Structure 1
Amino acid sequence: MAIKKKGSMATQSLRLRIQLGRALRQRYRSKRLAFSLYCALANRESIKARQEILLTLARNAERAAAADAIRLLRLNLPVPTENTFVQRLWQRCLLCCGLRMTLLWLAWQEKRMSRQCLQVFKIRQ
């Protein structure tokens, strides 16, 4: 049985904290982008039932972003305050693509963020 050095545990802990912080910040930005996209799509939607669904999705994205902000604050890490240029560009492009394409992109983005968060906690043997 190998004995682990105290320094290596601290280094691993710090590395995990950095990776977790990066993943949470990206997820936070992704959820804020999803929130603004869902709101914009709901404002454009003429069918009332679709509009309500989009607003529900917007609220869920907003709650998820708030939860990520709390996690970041608990880790004493900064919460991103503004959307990046790339996010604003994605938002404009996706809104031009229409409802279906935007929803497909958001689903893909959610899967990507989930895989990234799981990768942070992947146990390496």
Structure 2
Amino acid sequence: MVDCKLADTPMVMNHGLQILENAESVNQTQYQRLVGKLIYLAHTRPDLAYAVGVVSRFMHRPQKQHLEAVYRILRYLKGTPGKGVMYENHGHLDLHVFTDADWGADRDSRK
């Protein structure tokens, strides 16, 4: 993917990724390796957290559309070098977190 076209965002809006019947399957081992590396990277790249979470749901049965979503994340990474969170030791362990979840939009389980 050296000469790939860069992506502005890690995932398209309203992606609609789900497991489809009769869809083309891909190499599960390759998919799991790629997503595993992205999960590790997402600890310092919060901009990837949602996209990596979505593609990791399909590790048991990856299809072509899921691999294309992973490739989009890689194209986004190529266009955003040097971004990320630097964790430093400030002598305290205070952590403040805010989140907003939309569980109803999960088409697979609605959980």
- More contact order relative to length (CA 8 Å, sep ≥ 6): 2
Larger Rg: 1
**Which structure is higher in helix share?**
1
TM-score above 0.5, yes or no: no
